[in-house]
Structure 1
């Protein structure tokens, strides 16, 4: 097994791609510390994995992040893999409802041969923009900062940061999401350059449509429309994304750093 007795830290570990990644790492022998906002959510599936250590915290709370990594320092003194999978596409339920409603308007207009022009920029508040940036960018910086000494102590390591296809394509949506996910790419490249001398690789993953609970909040007809934008007309299973992450974290992927991988069914092509 590729990660026997190695220590990994995965954010967003209670569901979706974060949980799938935690499962893949555990199956390869890793001791996986999994962070998510809800202890109850972590207990449902993540906590049942062999070697799983659930940690309930707010990824945007730097003190909570530091405390979690202090625990890893005390218990192991090193880290092999950091996966930053936690993120949101809206700061709260009301904002998500607005986004879904606007998407439906766009879709219904297209069916009628018409056009609906959504207005997001003027309607985005300071508070909403700040909250998404704190989760999607600040939280990733906090974990990277806390993990760096432990990755160096390990002698080699890997960081995989979750971005989005929305960061590298033009998408009409609330600006905090593509802005935050594009910032992830800049953070990834800087960390890749700085940490390479220590045997640490840093890469980003920018998925397209993935069959997660969040993705399934829209109705089936609209989901089919989104998937139809991709050359490969299906949503990825979270386990497929996890296998990409596993490769990037492993010795087999050790010559890649500062890269953006986009398992997006061909939506993003470089």
Structure 2
């Protein structure tokens, strides 16, 4: 069954892989980007090459701005004819000692990683409730489950995403809407750009399966959780981390 999908943070990493995976699945996809128009246009071309008959839309918005993301959601709904699946993937990370964090550091990470998920879900839900169907997928992190030194603000934001998932799943289940969360481990995306090869090798060795994960693997899980076959799964946190957190 073809669905209408909205993905935040869709111009790179897990988001770009998700756009491709949903396009290959035969779905129409709108995605939100913020920083790089060139990257967004590249993703659009990739999606069109995967599904020439599909409908794809790139929308610029800052998810931490309620008005901007609400306007992007409305445009996606009008263009695609509604939204069946929402993937809240937009996120930023920062490594910094807790005692060195500024108010701006804290608010920026919280604004994108947690507030952005709240604003986007709030904008999408009325249409899903009206249609009595929806799939909401939130991307957290294994650090939202366990906490990470020098990433306390990121860990707190991603833990908040998990709480958002669990509470919203209970509230929206009677309306035919499932809400689930993926907590990726160390995934080989551009967020790893600041890590040396030695650091990457150490992380791979620390992971029980012996390697880093791929964005494509996370995207495949998102496609499954968005499918009608996953209708009895809600409020769950899927730890896709190669056994690093069990």
**Equivalent position of 1:39 in the other structure:** 37
Note the aligned Cα RMSD (angstroms): 1.4
**Equivalent position of 2:56 in the other structure:** 52
**Equivalent position of 1:88 in the other structure:** 92
Structure 1 residue 77 displacement after superposition: 4.3
| TM-score where L is the length of structure 2 | 0.93
Kindly indicate whether residue 65 of structure 2 is the aligned counterpart of residue 66 of structure 1.
no
Structure 1 residue 76 displacement after superposition: 4.2
**Equivalent position of 1:113 in the other structure:** none
**Equivalent position of 2:196 in the other structure:** 219
Q: Partner of 1:206: helix, strand, or coil?
A: strand
* 2:233 corresponds to which of 239, 256, 262: 256
Kindly indicate whether residue 127 of structure 2 is the aligned counterpart of residue 179 of structure 1.
no
Kindly indicate whether residue 13 of structure 2 is the aligned counterpart of residue 16 of structure 1.
yes
Structure 1 stretches of 4+ moved >4 Å: none
Unaligned runs of 5+ in 1: 91-95, 100-119
Residues 44-53 or 250-259, more deviating: 44-53
**Equivalent position of 2:185 in the other structure:** 208
**Equivalent position of 2:208 in the other structure:** 231
**In structure 1, distance between residues paired with 2:14 and 2:130:** 28
| TM-score where L is the length of structure 1 | 0.85
Which structure is larger by alpha-carbon Rg, 1 or 2? 1
Unaligned runs of 5+ in 2: 49-54
- 1:39–1:54 CA contact under 8 A, matched in 2: no
Structure 1 residue 171 displacement after superposition: 2.0
* 2:145 corresponds to which of 168, 175, 181: 168
**Equivalent position of 2:25 in the other structure:** 28
**In structure 1, distance between residues paired with 2:44 and 2:245:** 31
